[in-house]
Amino acid sequence: MELRAPVILILLSSIVILSYLFNLLSKKTRLPSVLMLIATGIGIKYLAAHYGFAGADVTKLVKILGATGLIMIVLEAALDLKLGRDKLRLIGDSFFSALFIFLFSAFGIGILIMQWLHVSFELAFLYAIPMSIISSAIIIPSTSHFEEKRKEFIIYESSFSDIVGILAFNYMLAPNVVSLVTAGRFFVNVGLVILLSLAATFLLLYIILNIKVGLKFFLIFSVLSFLYGLGELIHLPSLMIVLVFGLVINNYNLLLNTKFIRRFDTTGIDGVLETMRSITAETSFLIRTFFFILFGYTIDLSVLMQPDVWELGSIIIIILLLVRYFYLRVILKTPAFPMLLLMPRGLVTILLFYSIPVSKSIGGFNNGILFFVVAVSSILMMFGLLFSKDNGQYLEKSEEAI
């Protein structure tokens, strides 16, 4: 059976409308819209099979949408963050939270996979990395009802988690990860991407301040996407370019006294920023919608009937909770709830998992474990959001701790 163009147009439009309805429902119920999108994708797959449409391999499309969505989501988050001396402690706490929780979660899950599947720790750790990254794509859109400091902490933590996780993943793809040469090359790459981030930021600032035509926003997004793709090809942590650009453009007032900025008229930059925020939010919403729909389409529900999915998936969730609880209570000394449950896995987890090369794949690893971790961590986040909604005083009491 062949789908005609008007039918395809109706189906695509219906998906977008449905996603908007899911967002509204999510705000009312705190049920993550990502779960509803994944469930819709699963439903579409079985409906398509029922009506005789051959199942298409959409894995490559999922990767493309995931990479594009990651750029837009991190940019959207960065355009909401304000910098200043009063933010230094907040940024430091969120960075060390992301780093500590990621490293100990990855080591714990790596040891578990190594023992469970009898593989080398190097391969096990590579598989553990995606499941140790907090999804900014899921958590950031869910923070709208939080007070400002709590919201900023979550945005910084999830963005740093993405960056640290992608850095570690790229490092583990190297031929010899225990070599001093590999480690040296890795740190050189980090320094290189910092310089590239600053250069790209000033280039994009020039475009914003100097080009007066209205059609410049997608030029900016294209330049960011080009640099991100180029960085990925040579295994650079290019997501940092997106984060640095968003932070600088949103805090341009800190650069007003520099020679570079004084050359240009900055009177209309606030309007430009507002438009950029709007376009970025709408675009990231659209990409996120189709990404999770397509991810749902790739899921075979029969894998959930297999015992190892529930056993290994449950232990992974327990490790994630224990590490996060230890950091919040012992190191950060803040109340554990609801922050303990705000640790969804999603877009980056899926994207990195699909990026594991065949040469480093583990044949005995059941892909259903990935879906289990994504689904259960999102459900836990739902309970965390419900807890924060019903206990508004928590945020005031714990504000000083963070």
In a 10 Å sphere around its CB, with 0-12 CB exposed, 13-18 middle and 19+ buried, how is residue 279 labelled?
A: middle
- Examine the pLDDT at 161 and tell me if it is beyond 50: yes
The pLDDT confidence band at residue 3, using thresholds 50, 70 and 90, is low
Q: Say what the pLDDT of residue 246 is.
A: 84
Count the residues in the chain.
402
Q: Say what the pLDDT of residue 105 is.
A: 97
| Tens of pLDDT, residues 251-301 | 877 776 777 667 766 677 777 788 888 888 888 889 889 988 988 888 888
Q: Which of 81, 131, 68, 132 is nearest to 289 (CA)?
A: 68
Q: Say what the pLDDT of residue 214 is.
A: 62
What pTM value is reported for the model?
A: 0.84
| pLDDT, averaged across the chain | 82
The pLDDT confidence band at residue 391, using thresholds 50, 70 and 90, is very low
Q: Say what the pLDDT of residue 395 is.
A: 38
- Where helices occur in 211-330 by DSSP H, the ranges are 217-233, 239-250, 259-262, 269-298, 307-326
Report whether 291 contacts 69 (CB < 8 A): yes
| Tens of pLDDT, residues 127-153 | 999 999 998 778 877 776 777 778 888
| Tens of pLDDT, residues 81-112 | 777 777 888 888 888 999 999 999 999 999 99
Report whether 353 contacts 294 (CB < 8 A): no
Q: Which of 307, 315, 282, 290 is nearest to 141 (CA)?
A: 282
- Examine the pLDDT at 321 and tell me if it is beyond 90: yes
**Residue 376 CA: distances (Å) to CA of 58, 127, 206, 264, 369:** 24, 18, 44, 50, 10
The pLDDT confidence band at residue 17, using thresholds 50, 70 and 90, is very high
| Tens of pLDDT, residues 33-48 | 888 998 999 898 888 8
Q: Residue 27: what are its φ and ψ, rounded to 5°?
A: -65, -30
Report whether 339 contacts 124 (CB < 8 A): no
CA dihedral 85, 87, 92, 94 (to 10 degrees): -170
Report whether 289 contacts 38 (CB < 8 A): no
**Residue 140 CA: distances (Å) to CA of 186, 205, 350, 358:** 29, 25, 17, 32
What is the token pair recorded at 237?
């942590």
User: Taking the CA atoms of the chain, what radius of gyration do you get in angstroms?
Assistant: 21
The pLDDT confidence band at residue 191, using thresholds 50, 70 and 90, is confident
Percent of the chain with pLDDT over 70: 91
Tell me the C-alpha distance between 157 and 313, whole Å: 24
| Tens of pLDDT, residues 305-315 | 888 899 999 99
Report whether 273 contacts 211 (CB < 8 A): no
Q: Say what the pLDDT of residue 205 is.
A: 79
CA dihedral 240, 242, 247, 253 (to 10 degrees): 130
The pLDDT confidence band at residue 215, using thresholds 50, 70 and 90, is low
Tell me the C-alpha distance between 42 and 35, whole Å: 11
Tell me the C-alpha distance between 228 and 67, whole Å: 9
